[in-house]
Structure 1
Amino acid sequence: MSAPEVLWYIIPREGPYPWEPAGRRSVDLDYLSRLAGTVESLGYTGALLATDLHDVWPLGSALAARTSTAFKPLLAVHPGLIAPPLLAKMALSFDHLFGGRLRFNVVNGSTDKLRQYGLHVGHDERYALSAEYWSVVKRLTAGEVFDHKGRFYDLKDAGAELRELPPVQEPHIPLWFGGSSAPGIEMAAEHVDVYLTWAEPAAQLAAKLATVRERAAAHGRTLRLGLRVHLIVRDTEEQAWAAADRLLDVTGEATYERQLGRAGDDGVGWQRQFRQHGGRVPAHARELETHPNIWPGMGLFRPGPGTAVVGSTAQVVERLQEYRALGIDTFILSGNPLLEEAYRIAETVLPALGVRRA
């Protein structure tokens, strides 16, 4: 089995427990550039730049300018917030300036979040919008000029102004996406290149991936499969669980209330994770262990991927190899603080997965 592709995670809200002000570092462009350079030097093939305090386009451009073509930014983009021809122009400009290394992380978001931007679409409608949006963007970033009349967009001579900005990547800028609902999986099966999932117990995840493969085959397609997961890895199992306990201890009541207040979020992936911890804040982290070394407790602190793999280096590698056996060929990893844990994981976990520094 060949080595997996491994990406890291870069976000301006950085520190040992950045969901709390006391656990957050002062981060500026120099710090983020240092982090990106570190990620590049350690053998990761790039990083997911998530939607957060800084918009991903200026952040991605700044980091791409300070790294080489070995560092491929995966930019989180909500469909519908930028007109498809303008997004295509931004993306093709990025690739021309930075050597064809852009990748899109398709983020469908939540109904409530999108209302803040004036986009009023329900859960299933979000995926209908996404399917049309990205089908248009794919054609534009492949260099096509065309008319399009759909449910959400009516475009005339789309791509005409991009004729002198031809694509750098073929056949189009790659789409990475995660969605657990039936409409989300269908959208992925038809349109994306890499299907991403959050970590779950292996048997539970296997059933979802089987559905993804089945739906992709129905469209005559095969998808790469990726896993977004947080790691708490230490020399011993006891040290790793002590680190998880520490996160529970330093987290304030306001954070717990905010996260548990999201129980009604309409994202199916989020609901799958929420059910793993049941909205319960334990006295000890290991009380929430749902499978050996699988801990859904990160969902008590922050939005996004709420599951961590917790254990010794050997245990963490064993769990990741279980996911590899399910067909996962790509990992997006993280650990807090991002800078120090990028080193720790590159020096312990990645060699055991067959990943070598560039």
Structure 2
Amino acid sequence: MTIMPVEMIGWISPRISSELIPPSGPPFSPDVIAETARIHEEAGFDRVLIGYFSMAPDGFLVGAHAAAVTSRLQFLLAHRPGFVAPTVAARKLATLDQLTGGRTAVHIISGSNDTDQARDGDFAGHAARHRRTHEYVTLLRRTWTETEPFDHEGEFYKVIGAYADIRCHQTPHIPIYGGGGSQDAVNALAPVVDVYMLWGEPLTATKAFMQDIREVAAAAGHRLTFSLSTRPILGRTEGEAWDRARDILAKVKAQRTEPAPTPQNMGSVRLLDAAAEKEVHDSCLWTALAVLTGARGNSTALVGTPETVAEALAAYYDLGATSLLIRGYDPLPDAVAYGRELIPRVQALVSERDAAVGV
């Protein structure tokens, strides 16, 4: 198998839903998980993100089931510190990595919504959650790599004689992703994660934010890479793509019964600041859906033909985003279309760029 220099990430959920498609049916369907996993594998995605929400089914088991029906697809398991002890989480993640034959990674999220945190009994403030995350990831790494029992006493965790027989299939351990738009998030995560995850901001803002993150990582003697998340909306022509985008906006607007929530995290604030500047940035970065939804999560779209959107994604690669997370508003048909029309174009553009500089 040829390893491409850009990692393409999709999205897997235990039921089909999006801002466009209201949730229906049971909150957990093994058949939906299996179908979604197979579609992404066949479409050429390298990895899929398994999200974390306080009312959602357990992501470890979702990942295990998806892995059982695929052979190549890798998994990025979202995980919130604070609810499972880090030494326990390290063993759970290592076990899943062994079961999947080295196809597991973890996405560390400190938690940006106080209401969602409170549902699981966490009332720590924003800054404290990020400090806890830093300590948590440090303990994950130690549990995966220490060759002798170790002690630790920090602000949030104390362990004596911690040690794990189960180790990750991958060496030295599974990849650690994480993200956040605040300075607290950058200070906590940049020194310890392998991949810093960003949402789709304008190129100038993305470049500046990446530089800030790199500087914090470098000060800790650490190097990292980046992932960038967007919501491509494709059409055979530019006009068809924009017609589809406006149709999605109208349908999402018609379904909303309440005003968009005020964001509690800086990542969403950053997206809304970009939207306040203008509706379309760069070649095709569209912010209207972020405004309508309060920028809750990955919510800026790249709109255009596959060629236009592939070039826009490659521009983020040029800045340093070697992982690209793409998720559609009609999740399964869009994943098929991305595999047919978008992913091969992005891979070709990245290969051309790397060949030009001798990579």
TM-score range (shorter-chain normalised) is 0.7 to 0.9
Q: Is the 8 A contact 1:20 1:251 kept in 2?
A: no
Match of 1:354 in 2: 347
How far did 1:108 drift?
1.4
Amino acid corresponding to residue 187 of structure 2 in structure 1: E
How far did 1:132 drift?
0.4
How far did 1:116 drift?
1.7
Amino acid corresponding to residue 66 of structure 1 in structure 2: V
Aligned equivalents of 1:103, 1:310: Cα separation in 2: 29
What SS does structure 1 have at the residue aligned with 2:198? Answer: strand
Match of 1:216 in 2: 217
Aligned equivalents of 2:67, 2:257: Cα separation in 1: 35
**How do 1:57-76 and structure 2 match up within 5 A?**
57-68=60-71, 70-76=72-78
2:107 is the counterpart of 1:114: no
Q: Is the 8 A contact 2:43 2:338 kept in 1?
A: no
1:149 maps to which of 153, 169, 175: 153
Match of 2:353 in 1: none
- Which deviates more, 184-193 or 110-119? 110-119
Match of 1:334 in 2: 327
Aligned equivalents of 1:196, 1:204: Cα separation in 2: 14
How far did 1:20 drift?
3.0
Q: Is the 8 A contact 2:167 2:173 kept in 1?
A: no
Amino acid corresponding to residue 11 of structure 1 in structure 2: S
The 3 A distance-change label for structure 1 pair 270 and 19 is farther
Aligned equivalents of 1:128, 1:138: Cα separation in 2: 16
Aligned equivalents of 1:129, 1:254: Cα separation in 2: 38
Amino acid corresponding to residue 348 of structure 1 in structure 2: E
2:97 is the counterpart of 1:82: no
1:204-246, Cα deviation, whole Å (9 max, x unpaired):
1111011111111111221111111111011111111111111
Q: Is the 8 A contact 1:142 1:167 kept in 2?
A: no
Aligned residues: 339
Amino acid corresponding to residue 83 of structure 1 in structure 2: A
Aligned equivalents of 2:32, 2:319: Cα separation in 1: 36
Q: CA RMSD in A?
A: 2.3
How far did 1:288 drift?
2.4
- Which deviates more, 204-213 or 106-115? 106-115
Q: Is the 8 A contact 1:17 1:337 kept in 2?
A: no
Aligned equivalents of 2:283, 2:133: Cα separation in 1: 36
1:321 maps to which of 291, 310, 314: 314
The 3 A distance-change label for structure 1 pair 118 and 347 is same
1:48-70, Cα deviation, whole Å (9 max, x unpaired):
011243221121111111111x2
1:291-324, Cα deviation, whole Å (9 max, x unpaired):
3311123322472111111111121112112111
**How do 1:135-284 and structure 2 match up within 5 A?**
135-144=138-147, 145-159=149-163, 162-163=164-165, 165-252=166-253, 255=256, 257-258=258-259, 260-261=260-261, 263=262, 265-278=263-276
The 3 A distance-change label for structure 1 pair 256 and 199 is farther
The 3 A distance-change label for structure 1 pair 168 and 201 is same
Q: Structure 1 unaligned segments of length 5 or more: list them.
A: 281-286
Match of 2:336 in 1: 343
Match of 2:355 in 1: none
How far did 1:140 drift?
0.9
1:61-120, Cα deviation, whole Å (9 max, x unpaired):
11111111x211100100111111211121122122221221001111123321221111
Q: Is the 8 A contact 1:20 1:252 kept in 2?
A: no
How far did 1:252 drift?
4.7
What SS does structure 2 have at the residue aligned with 1:274? Answer: helix
Aligned equivalents of 1:81, 1:121: Cα separation in 2: 12
What SS does structure 1 have at the residue aligned with 2:76? Answer: strand
Aligned equivalents of 1:295, 1:211: Cα separation in 2: 24
Q: Structure 2 unaligned segments of length 5 or more: list them.
A: 350-359
Match of 1:293 in 2: 284
Between the aligned residues of both structures, percent identity stands at 29
- Per the normalisation by structure 2, the TM-score is 0.88
Q: Is the 8 A contact 1:298 1:305 kept in 2?
A: no
1:309-354, Cα deviation, whole Å (9 max, x unpaired):
1111121112112111111111111113222111211111111122
The 3 A distance-change label for structure 1 pair 96 and 20 is closer
What SS does structure 2 have at the residue aligned with 1:247? Answer: helix
Q: Is the 8 A contact 1:194 1:226 kept in 2?
A: yes
Q: Is the 8 A contact 1:91 1:141 kept in 2?
A: no
Q: Is the 8 A contact 2:91 2:167 kept in 1?
A: no
Amino acid corresponding to residue 65 of structure 1 in structure 2: A
Amino acid corresponding to residue 271 of structure 2 in structure 1: Q
What SS does structure 1 have at the residue aligned with 2:281? Answer: coil
How far did 1:256 drift?
6.1
